[in-house]
Structure 1
């Protein structure tokens, strides 16, 4: 990666748009210098932010980089163009921040809007890479071949990061290397083995608990040799599986034998119980037959006692049936007689109503005639007034439209008059200034030796001068054209205004004339009426006309109803008189039918018929009682005959002794069943425990072998072997990288220190067995063959050692990251702690590195470096933000 151009807008200490062209430095070492806080490190931050959405030190994100000096309307973004493998890419990125919107709030205050974070990538073919922010970030990382952590370790060595790797504890170096060299895979192997060993240990513990639980469930036979053996096995912490299973097998065999014997004894008792039950049940059925026979004979005696009452009830039912047939004829005769009486009364009432109704109808006809004459006289007058008022109302709408148009024309008139005035003043001022500057304009064309067109002199000692800002002839002519144009617009608008005013006055005059025709009684000052008054008058007239019509129609409908009712009642009276004649005939016929019915049902007198009518009510209940009695007699007689046949040749018997014997056998059977069930349940539990223990002991052997193997691997991989160094698998792999870094660092450190000392990784035999170790760093002095801790180095020595480590780390990371092309490296500060000799050596190393890499930039404010490095990017700090420029000597 080689920088081509960096553009920063409102970013960090740079208020405006700052552009840095790196093509001015082709090859070698260059210095970025300037005052403290001017914005030297911000250049590194901008490059890292553009590529990875992170700053070089990782302490600030893009949202914090909005410049405090930037105007509100300047956008914040970074645009970085770089070449990689001879292909040029451009990435532009802006953070999320607040800016002033183009529109203000309703109260005039500024309205802030949020600018969302965006990124775009321009590919070498000039096309923009398509995708979301995440996709573009991934594409940039794919192009670079490095992630942000690797990039800041080998290409952007940020300020303060020199000593991190040098003074870090073994634990901290492990964390750094895990991120840089992606050794988390080895840590995952360690953790996987540890978790696997833990799960196997838990499984072994669970297996032991399962075995103990199943052994405690076993119930051997009391006072048996197996019981004593089983108690001894339970007393052991974990007995041998073979002993447990053999003993349990014998316990199950003995239990099964006892269970079968108990089952056979219970079956024998059951057989005896069944036989006795059959004997008792058969004799109880015979005894029950004799009991039922005696109960049936008692019921026959009860029915015989009820026989006299039932015969009387039968007579009542028969007489009631004959009377009910005659009563139908009687009811019809009485109903017709009552209907005849009612109809006679109704005919009399109808005749009286017709007399009164005729008088009401005559009076109502006179009233309707009067209402009709009044309506015919008033309606034409009201209709004419309503039509006239409806014709007036649309005039108000036309007047409102004309008034609105008049007001609009008035505003336009005022506006164009003001514009005409300003255009005229502008023209007069420019014309006056132009006229006053004519001498200066003529003097501009005068040359020595040429005659003046005004005085003719060829000598011009004091020429008139044209004042700054004086208008030219073209500008004056443009002002005149603008003035004339505004005058033309004013004339047109004034004509439209006068026309609108005339139309409004004409329409108002027409309305006054129309109002005057309606209200002739008003004087000239009161001719004008408001629209609401006209509407009110119109509504009042319409209501008056509608009420008169409704009143007439109501009276007319009432008269029609009276006439209709009179006609209806007249027709009804004729029908009623005809029906009265028919009912008289019908009454005489029904009376004859009733008398014939009495004779037919054999009632000698009317009194005997009246007595028989008493049995009509309740006749259904009497018939039901008779039916139930007859059915009961038949049922009891039939059952008595059947029971006599079934009990023939049999005798009842006493069963007390047999029942006592059955009760004793049932109790014995219950005890024997409980004994069998107890043995069965115990044997089922023992057999189930035997099957489970067989499986558990089989699992324990394989689990134990697997746990011993995995636990040994876990202790080895995690560095937990007793008495050995705490060196885990990931640290062991990282030591290989660490030694490569130290070897690469020593190639430069030996030159910086004139072979005074080098760095070395502490040997395993010298590592502590307490805590994590394996990545400890020592200093080996070549002169006196001594070793000391790296933290004892002085400030200058620490800088040289840490710079060497950073450069060595960059070499190794670059090699392990794949075929990447790293042509540029930036180093931030640290040279102030070196003496002149050490600084010269460090610069020589970096210059050599620049020859290898292509371009190396150093951030520093040390003055001595300015004389040693020719190419410099100088950053200046001002009150309005920082600026950068190249100094190329």
Structure 2
């Protein structure tokens, strides 16, 4: 995958649209992304991930991607252009966001969107706008998800530093996210599930068997032993019997039950025969006793009825009179209602007559109905009088208010006309002041830029002075380092010469007479050389190391002196010969001018506000004058109209009073009094009519009542009312009369029965003795039946469960064997089996192979970065205290030849190791993803922990990554990298958001 171009808008800290031309900045292969902390360096990487996967790595939420600095209506958007698998793709993606509503207040939700385009021969063509289809295309061409992509392409150093020091179990979780070991994890899970399910099934089978056996034990335990003999299970319960002995025990229990059933059946038949005979005798005795009791009760009831005969006859007579009176009950009620209606009508007439007198409209001898009709005929006249009276009063009051209002308006118009010339003159003065201040304030921006330029030049002067001072301080160190190196070299040369001289003595020491000299071949050695001060190879090696150290120290000082000298020359060329005094004087002058311009700008705002206020006041006075003039003209016209309406209303009032003078209400303009009098007369006429009708109804009702009393046999209305009884009392008397007659009939019929007569003549039977005999026989039957039922239930239960239990025994044995094999295999694959000494899961074993490959790939880079000192090693040593093993990682120090824990590395060493590990993991994941060529890589932070030599070695490795046209982006805020990597993406931040600029090969600005 090769990234060509990235465009970001309203995303993260970037409020405005920023464009990163990756092709331009990565022309040299290696480029730097730098900027202050929080400026948005990592947000650019997040934008790449969001364009591809609609998500960002880490804990950041998609809902918080939109920039808080952006304008409310700005659309958040990321555009990524890249080549993947030979296809040139462009993805434009926008997250969910909220824009202001077009109407009203508040916001409305905007759905996330995506557009995938591909460039062909004819240009860009749309491929899809659906999120799922775009996700499928990205997954198809990249072959990896967001987690793998962010780990392989982004290389976050913090994550891999943690991976370097992680425990095997934590390292396993990281590797699982990077490598697809789903098939092995599925095997582990399948075996674990099979072990759990098998154990559960075996436990369930055992519990089911034990449950059935317990039920059978309960049934067998309920069977009483025969004649106090032993129970069916003398040894132990069936539930306690071993599974392999259960079939034999079940056969023994079945044989015993069959024998007991035969005996219990015979005993039950005999007991039931004896019980039937005793029951028949008891039933006959109870029937005789029942007939005797009925006869005695009938005699006693007849005697009691004879004693209450007189009361029975009185109740019957009262009941007959009440039945006759009930026939005239309706006539009596009708007469009472008619009397009440007549009384109420008379009372209503009296009340209304008092109301009419109170209103002062005494009808005298005139018919009330005629007066009411006269008042009704004048209703419209009275209402018109009322309306005209109110209208006349309101018109007069309005005319007075209008005249007062006109006087006030006229006074305000005079005031506005007098103030208008002064307001217009003030507007002209304020406009002149605004023009002057605007011209002065316009220079503030240019003067501010001049101040910043002079401040920058003054800072350059200070840095030049500081660098010169540092150069002066370095001169003694440089001379001392050179002298030290010269001395060390002289000592080394002296040792080398002495070593050469000593080599002859070493050869001579090995000579003996008769042996040839290895130099001249002579057999005699008359003057063998002797070393006065011998020098060994160890002495030479130590001296060479001392010289190398002195040379390195001199190189450090020379590099520092060279860098400071170059920096001084660069800054002096920028200053172009200007001295500190000249720069300071120019800065003071620029600041003074800028201060004056800023003051003019500040005053401009106040002057503009004053101008606007004075214009507003002048416009208000002119508008008020014109408005008052128009209002006065309209008011004069309206006052004339109101005066005419007053005269017309007065004429209508005079005519109306004349027409209303003969009204029964007494005349006058009061419409409410007219209405009350007219309604009182109408109500009184209606009350007279109602009283006449009530009198007629009462006369007719009394005639009907007399006829009904005579027909029912009553002389007077009072006699009929006295004979009346409440319904409940009449029902009670009727029930008593009928009950008396019914009881006499029933008692006489009972005494006439033959069985009753015979029972009264015989002796009373001994019921108690017969019941006791039946109870004894019944208990015998129940005991025999209970024993027989228990034996029969036990036999049926055993017959039903026996084949099931035998089959369950066989199944439990077979399942136990299979579960033992599955448990052993699952424990081994899960890393907890006794044979798995490393406690490694199957998936961990596969990941261990991946980790070993990663270590090999990482060492290819670490050998260069660490000068060949360190190598990463995968180890499967057993962890302490039974922890899981197999994913260990250690570092081999080739200087000492000993392996040690990765936590012992220094900060810089840890960075180099974690970077090598990240690159190795990226290579391994890329190989597993199908060998996808990643044309663009990003390395995020971590360079600040390196010294100069280590940084140089790391950059050498990164340069090696550029082979094949690959682009490598380094994300860091380390200042030294700006001088070492000329191609840069510079991220800046400010109160209104962050920005991006590209420097393709340009020299980085001086620090």
Q: TM-score range by the shorter chain?
A: 0.5 to 0.7
The alpha carbon displacement at 1:727 in A equals 0.9
Deviations 1:48-99 (A, max 9, x none): 463356656x36556777879x5877969453322233433243446879x9
**Could you tell me which residue of structure 2 aligns to residue 801 of structure 1?**
913
- Say which is worse superposed, 749-758 or 851-860, in terms of deviation: 749-758
Contact 1:731 1:774 in 2 (8 A): yes
Secondary structure in structure 1 of the residue aligned to 2:3: strand
The alpha carbon displacement at 1:731 in A equals 0.3
Q: Cα distance 1:14–1:419, how it changes in 2: closer, same or farther (>3 A)?
A: farther
Distance 2:144 2:858 in 1: 21
The alpha carbon displacement at 1:832 in A equals 4.9
**Could you tell me which residue of structure 2 aligns to residue 639 of structure 1?**
753
Q: Cα distance 1:8–1:710, how it changes in 2: closer, same or farther (>3 A)?
A: same
The alpha carbon displacement at 1:887 in A equals 3.6
**Could you tell me which residue of structure 1 aligns to residue 968 of structure 2?**
856
The one of 255, 258, 283 equivalent to 1:256 is: 258
- Say which is worse superposed, 804-813 or 8-17, in terms of deviation: 8-17
Q: Cα distance 1:853–1:804, how it changes in 2: closer, same or farther (>3 A)?
A: farther
1:733 aligns with 2:734: no
Distance 2:752 2:279 in 1: 32
Secondary structure in structure 2 of the residue aligned to 1:698: helix
**Could you tell me which residue of structure 2 aligns to residue 151 of structure 1?**
149
Secondary structure in structure 2 of the residue aligned to 1:47: helix
Deviations 1:415-459 (A, max 9, x none): x989995999599979x99xxxxxxxxxxxxxxxxxxxxxxxxxx
Distance 2:16 2:675 in 1: 88
Q: Cα distance 1:117–1:643, how it changes in 2: closer, same or farther (>3 A)?
A: closer
**Could you tell me which residue of structure 1 aligns to residue 939 of structure 2?**
827
Secondary structure in structure 1 of the residue aligned to 2:882: coil
The alpha carbon displacement at 1:701 in A equals 0.8
Q: Cα distance 1:393–1:178, how it changes in 2: closer, same or farther (>3 A)?
A: same
Contact 2:8 2:47 in 1 (8 A): no
Secondary structure in structure 1 of the residue aligned to 2:365: helix
Contact 1:31 1:858 in 2 (8 A): yes
- Say which is worse superposed, 71-80 or 796-805, in terms of deviation: 71-80
**Could you tell me which residue of structure 2 aligns to residue 698 of structure 1?**
810
1:292-307 equivalent positions in 2, closer than 5 A: none
- TM-score, length of structure 1 as denominator length: 0.63
Q: Cα distance 1:493–1:704, how it changes in 2: closer, same or farther (>3 A)?
A: same
The alpha carbon displacement at 1:842 in A equals 3.6
Q: Cα distance 1:397–1:799, how it changes in 2: closer, same or farther (>3 A)?
A: same
The one of 120, 135, 148 equivalent to 2:113 is: 120
**Could you tell me which residue of structure 2 aligns to residue 507 of structure 1?**
638
Q: Cα distance 1:675–1:130, how it changes in 2: closer, same or farther (>3 A)?
A: same
The alpha carbon displacement at 1:197 in A equals 2.6
The alpha carbon displacement at 1:880 in A equals 7.2
The alpha carbon displacement at 1:181 in A equals 1.6
Secondary structure in structure 2 of the residue aligned to 1:857: strand
The alpha carbon displacement at 1:716 in A equals 0.7
Secondary structure in structure 1 of the residue aligned to 2:158: coil
1:50 aligns with 2:176: no
Distance 1:301 1:664 in 2: 42
1:266 aligns with 2:259: no
**Could you tell me which residue of structure 2 aligns to residue 25 of structure 1?**
25
The alpha carbon displacement at 1:151 in A equals 1.6
1:84 aligns with 2:83: yes
The one of 243, 246, 264 equivalent to 1:244 is: 246
Secondary structure in structure 2 of the residue aligned to 1:161: helix
The one of 124, 145, 167 equivalent to 1:169 is: 167
Contact 2:877 2:888 in 1 (8 A): no
Gaps of 5+ in 1: 105-110, 340-345, 347-356, 434-486, 521-539, 595-618
Contact 1:822 1:853 in 2 (8 A): no
Secondary structure in structure 2 of the residue aligned to 1:826: strand
Secondary structure in structure 2 of the residue aligned to 1:160: helix
CA RMSD of superposed structures (Å): 6.8
Deviations 1:615-644 (A, max 9, x none): xxxx9999979976995798468535x878
Distance 2:987 2:674 in 1: 102
Q: Cα distance 1:221–1:45, how it changes in 2: closer, same or farther (>3 A)?
A: same
Contact 1:4 1:21 in 2 (8 A): yes
Deviations 1:332-376 (A, max 9, x none): 9xx9xxx9xxxxxx9xxxxxxxxxx9xx9x982359799999999
Distance 1:572 1:752 in 2: 131
Secondary structure in structure 2 of the residue aligned to 1:761: strand
1:508-547 equivalent positions in 2, closer than 5 A: 508-515=639-646, 544-547=670-673
The alpha carbon displacement at 1:664 in A equals 5.0
Q: Cα distance 1:397–1:72, how it changes in 2: closer, same or farther (>3 A)?
A: farther
Q: Cα distance 1:420–1:565, how it changes in 2: closer, same or farther (>3 A)?
A: closer
Secondary structure in structure 2 of the residue aligned to 1:39: coil
Secondary structure in structure 2 of the residue aligned to 1:721: coil
Q: Cα distance 1:266–1:391, how it changes in 2: closer, same or farther (>3 A)?
A: same
1:440-589 equivalent positions in 2, closer than 5 A: 498=629, 500-515=631-646, 544-548=670-674, 550-551=676-677, 554-555=680-681, 558=684
Deviations 1:540-574 (A, max 9, x none): 99961452465367458757976x7999999999x
1:179 aligns with 2:292: no
Distance 1:62 1:419 in 2: 63
Deviations 1:186-222 (A, max 9, x none): 3454345335434544554565566566366454986
Contact 1:211 1:696 in 2 (8 A): yes
Q: Cα distance 1:386–1:74, how it changes in 2: closer, same or farther (>3 A)?
A: closer
Distance 1:29 1:117 in 2: 39
Deviations 1:654-682 (A, max 9, x none): 77897776565444434433443454455
The alpha carbon displacement at 1:808 in A equals 2.0
**Could you tell me which residue of structure 2 aligns to residue 717 of structure 1?**
829
**Could you tell me which residue of structure 2 aligns to residue 847 of structure 1?**
959
Contact 2:861 2:916 in 1 (8 A): yes
**Could you tell me which residue of structure 2 aligns to residue 888 of structure 1?**
1001
Distance 2:250 2:141 in 1: 72
The alpha carbon displacement at 1:750 in A equals 4.0
The one of 738, 751, 759 equivalent to 2:872 is: 759
Secondary structure in structure 1 of the residue aligned to 2:92: strand
**Could you tell me which residue of structure 1 aligns to residue 364 of structure 2?**
364
Distance 2:839 2:625 in 1: 103
The alpha carbon displacement at 1:508 in A equals 1.5
Distance 1:198 1:678 in 2: 41
**Could you tell me which residue of structure 1 aligns to residue 454 of structure 2?**
none
**Could you tell me which residue of structure 1 aligns to residue 984 of structure 2?**
872
1:123-138 equivalent positions in 2, closer than 5 A: 123-124=116-117, 130=129
The alpha carbon displacement at 1:686 in A equals 5.9
**Could you tell me which residue of structure 1 aligns to residue 589 of structure 2?**
none
Contact 2:388 2:649 in 1 (8 A): no
**Could you tell me which residue of structure 2 aligns to residue 2 of structure 1?**
2
Number of residues of Structure 1 aligned to a counterpart in Structure 2: 735
Contact 2:29 2:965 in 1 (8 A): no
The alpha carbon displacement at 1:499 in A equals 5.2
Distance 1:560 1:243 in 2: 113
Q: Cα distance 1:18–1:514, how it changes in 2: closer, same or farther (>3 A)?
A: same
Gaps of 5+ in 2: 118-123, 336-341, 343-352, 437-617, 652-665, 715-732, 1003-1007
Distance 1:168 1:204 in 2: 40
Q: Cα distance 1:61–1:888, how it changes in 2: closer, same or farther (>3 A)?
A: farther
